[in-house]
Amino acid sequence: MHVPGHGGGGGIPSHLPLLFKELAKYDLTELAGLDDLHNPSGVIRDAQELAAAAFAAEESYFLVNGASSGVMAMLLAVCGPGDKVLVPRNAHSSVYHGLIFSGAEPWYLPVAEDGGFPLNVTVDAVSEGFRCCPGAKALIVTSPSYYGVCADIKEIEKVVRRNNAILLLDEAHGAHFGFSDKLPPAGLSADLRVQSWHKTLGALTPGAVLHRQGGQIDSFRLRAALRSVQTSSPSYPLLLSLDAARKQMALQGRELWDSVCCMAETLRDSLKGVIPLLEREAVRDKGFDLDITRLTLLTGTAGINGITASGLIREAGVDTELAYVDHVLAILGMGFSALELEKVTSAFKQLKGLDGGEAVVFPAVPAAEPVLSLRQAWFSPSRNVSLRDAVGEVSATFVVPYPPGIPVLAVGERVSEKAADYLEAAVTGGIELRGLDSYGRLRICI
């Protein structure tokens, strides 16, 4: 006599596939013996301890609201109103939301580029950030980036320590690091780091994990922060999948990821001369590293529009992760089999037949011009206007191409002519934007 209302399957709508009825047997609540994610003292505590051991952390916390909740909790645990946080401008939207909740203010760091393509934040940019913003409480780095480009976390950590700050790491796309020597190293030295286990490991969406390291973080406040950004009714199937993903990694992680890396190498080799890729050597030359299981097809360099290219690849039966005007991102994971290699290779090889004209370039993301604090703008009265009418006004919303979920325009930023041009080009180019209304209008502060 307890929730959930489907009562272990009996109340599941009958038009749902039978599988849902089966799954409902596992969809339980905090019954005797099932522990409580928000106050774990039994099986969930044990599972989290095993996760910490497998991922070389001091403490690990299962997240049932995605890495987004972990990112927000990190910021809430560490910062308060008025604190400054160094934030490279390639941060995921959850970073901005965490700043709004906590009242902390971002100090933006530039993201290095290669021919307009975003790489990551450099050690020098971090040093310069601390010089210009002395007393910054924390730095939050996204590494790897969506494209698998990794910042030099070891060196960055030294700079953070010299400045008595906290290192927060959004490692959403790097949960598999540490399970193959062919992958970049995991960011073990961060005080807190968040991994989306549903992105690169076998957990159900949106299962994720937050790891703590060292004595800089107040665990009590961290737990309170986690309670504040997560549902009070955690999904047990999701928790089960996190524990199972941990076991899979602990027992077979190396074997599985060595194999994925070998397939990635084979695919990369077979695409030589077909389409330019973002290459590890090129990225290393710039002081970064690359996850080779992320294949960024630099279609624009070959004169091919990325959205056209991904459409062609899809017609050949292969869905890719992301398509932009000048590139396509394809991800290899544990679900990928050697049998699929041939199909994928021939799908990609069609691109060679395309008539590559002049390089397709997408305008660089316009420089941010913050005018109001994130919180001031978030709580400001606002109205919708056309993109053109918004030029010169202050944005009351985030406009975010999804994926990758990095805001082009943040709350509190002046809408420049360039930003309006960029967003119009994105809409025309078929890029999915979150943040405009259904008429393509932008919300501005009044």
**221, 198, 278: which is closest to 73 by C-alpha?**
221
Q: Which is nearer to ligand PLP, 117 or 348 (CB)?
A: 117
Euclidean distance between the first and the last CA atom of the chain, given in angstroms as a whole number: 52
Structural contact between residues 320 and 330, judged by C-beta atoms closer than 8 angstroms: yes
Q: Which is nearer to ligand PLP, 275 or 426 (CB)?
A: 426
Centroid of chain to Cα 189: 19
Provide the minimum distance between the beta carbon of 214 and ligand PLP in the complex, in angstroms, as a whole number.
22
| Separation between Cα atoms, residue 405 and residue 400, nearest integer Å | 6
Closest residue to ligand PLP using C-beta atoms:
66
Residue 104's identity, in one-letter code, is A
Provide the minimum distance between the beta carbon of 391 and ligand PLP in the complex, in angstroms, as a whole number.
29
Provide the minimum distance between the beta carbon of 244 and ligand PLP in the complex, in angstroms, as a whole number.
18
Provide the minimum distance between the beta carbon of 296 and ligand PLP in the complex, in angstroms, as a whole number.
14
| Sequence-separated (6 or more) residues with CB below 8 Å from residue 56 | 178, 186, 188
| Separation between Cα atoms, residue 149 and residue 294, nearest integer Å | 9
Asked if the peptide bond before residue 206 counts as cis, ω within 30 degrees of 0, the response is yes
Q: Which is nearer to ligand PLP, 173 or 280 (CB)?
A: 173
Q: Which is nearer to ligand PLP, 174 or 306 (CB)?
A: 174
| Separation between Cα atoms, residue 67 and residue 196, nearest integer Å | 5
What would the two tokens of residue 386 be? 């056309």
Residue 225's identity, in one-letter code, is A
Partners of 154 in the beta sheet?
none
What residue ranges bind ligand PLP (CB under 6 A)? 66-68, 71, 92, 94, 142, 146, 170, 172-173, 196, 206, 208, 404-405
Q: Which is nearer to ligand PLP, 24 or 150 (CB)?
A: 150
| Separation between Cα atoms, residue 403 and residue 28, nearest integer Å | 32
| Separation between Cα atoms, residue 308 and residue 314, nearest integer Å | 10
Q: Which is nearer to ligand PLP, 178 or 404 (CB)?
A: 404
Provide the minimum distance between the beta carbon of 200 and ligand PLP in the complex, in angstroms, as a whole number.
11
Provide the minimum distance between the beta carbon of 330 and ligand PLP in the complex, in angstroms, as a whole number.
16
Provide the minimum distance between the beta carbon of 198 and ligand PLP in the complex, in angstroms, as a whole number.
6
Q: Which is nearer to ligand PLP, 207 or 390 (CB)?
A: 207
